[in-house]
Amino acid sequence: MTSAVAVDLHVSIGALRLRNPILAASGTFGYGLEFAHLIDLNRLGGFVTKGLSREPIEGAPAPRLYPTPSGMLNAVGLQNVGVRAFVAEKLPVLRKIDTAVIANVFGYSLEDYVEVIRVLEDAEGLAAYELNVSCPNVKKGGMQFGSDPALIAEVVGAARKAATKRPLWVKLSPLVTDIGLIARAAEGAGADALTVANTYPAMAVNVRTQKSRLGNQTGGLSGPAIKPITLRLVWEARKAVRIPIIGLGGIETVEDVLEYLAVGGSAVQVGTASFTDPRVSQRLVEGLEKALFEAKMFTVNEIRDKFIAENG
Ligand SMILES: Cc1cc2nc3c(=O)[nH]c(=O)nc-3n(C[C@H](O)[C@H](O)[C@H](O)COP(=O)(O)O)c2cc1C
């Protein structure tokens, strides 16, 4: 018997069934199409698009990326083509691909989020929405939506009303005092799943030039450096809610994937690792199948069930 027939990699994120639990993360995989000549997109569990906003955004000044020990800083400034151009130009091509495409949505006000979803609701070819709530709310003095339970409930509630056609995932900020509180607020307002988590606000400076290493001065830290911190957030969030959790932060190897699944992730996303190896997500699908077969586990959920039985 070969591993291909013995191991069932399918996972369910609420009503959405994915071929396997490996997705490519928002902002690190373009609109998916950029990777079509490098990997077989149909082998992935799915991918999340670059964040989409109401209007096109040019983004932050260069430099936008800076390597750090075991990680990377980025300040891309949420550059994107805008939701209408995405629907007109990218979605028609994406529809030909047989994998789950999740649209990452962001805004600087409640109305922005609702408008982006409204435009996407009229289009075919998406599997779910992922709400990025790590954005400053311009109407509330720049406070992040994702760090206040009342604000998160408000934005998720409004998005939920607009998103009648598709599941709504909410991508949490890691910069919170109590992830359980935030996770429960999102669940209570109608989220179908949580993505845990985004990058960690950070900075790097060049003392010789007396300048920040990033054009935007500060940015977000990602990569292996954040993995142990985010792993705990997934563990804590899982204890707080019943909806599925998608874990991400610093995943590079099959071992990393297994760790996120063990602490309660129903699926994972791969971000920064795609910069050094654009084929990493497909490689991880193949590696996960092999690893499960060797461990004599035949479904993905067995990893979590085993770990939770041991650790509560
Ligand atoms: C260059 C870059 C751009 C990103 N853009 C977005 C984005 O548009 N929306 C979003 O929700 N997350 C964005 N992220 C965050 C990633 O999706 C992910 O949450 C984070 O990088 C942690 O995962 P990683 O350590 O595997 O990269 C971006 C990350 C990077 C490195």
What pLDDT digit, counting tens, does each position of 181-240 carry?
A: 999 999 999 999 999 999 999 999 999 999 999 999 999 999 999 999 999 999 999 999
pLDDT at 1 over 70: no
Structure tokens that stand for 54 in this block: 């109401």
Q: What is the pLDDT of residue 156?
A: 97
Is the C-beta atom of 104 inside 6 A of ligand 1?
A: yes
Residues in CB range of 260: below 8 A, 6 or more apart: 231, 234, 247, 248, 251, 268
Q: What is the pLDDT of residue 173?
A: 95
Is the C-beta atom of 250 inside 6 A of ligand 1?
A: yes
Q: Has 176 been annotated as catalytic?
A: no
At how many degrees (to 10) do helices 280-294 and 254-262 cross? 70
- Residues pairing with 52 in the sheet: 105
Three-state secondary-structure class, residue 80: strand
pLDDT at 4 over 80: no
Burial 149-160 (b: 16+ CB within 10 A, else e): bebbbbbbbbbb
> The pTM is what?
0.97
How far is ligand 1, taken at its centre, from the CA of residue 312, in Å? Answer: 30
Query: pLDDT category, 137, cuts 50, 70, 90?
Result: confident
Q: Ligand 1, residues 22, 23, 28: which to mutate, most atoms within 8 A of Cβ?
A: 28
Structure tokens that stand for 104 in this block: 């990452």
- Residues pairing with 196 in the sheet: 172, 247
Residues in CB range of 23: below 8 A, 6 or more apart: 44, 45, 46, 47, 48, 100, 102, 246, 267, 268, 269, 270, 281
Query: pLDDT category, 142, cuts 50, 70, 90?
Result: confident
How far is ligand 1, taken at its centre, from the CA of residue 297, in Å? Answer: 31
Going by alpha carbons, the residue nearest to atom 29 of ligand 1 is 27
Going by alpha carbons, the residue nearest to atom 28 of ligand 1 is 27
Of ligand 1's listed atoms, the one at least distance from the Cα of 227 is 25
Query: pLDDT category, 144, cuts 50, 70, 90?
Result: confident
Catalytic residue among 81, 91, 120, 135: 135
Q: Report the chain's mean pLDDT, rounded to a whole number.
A: 95
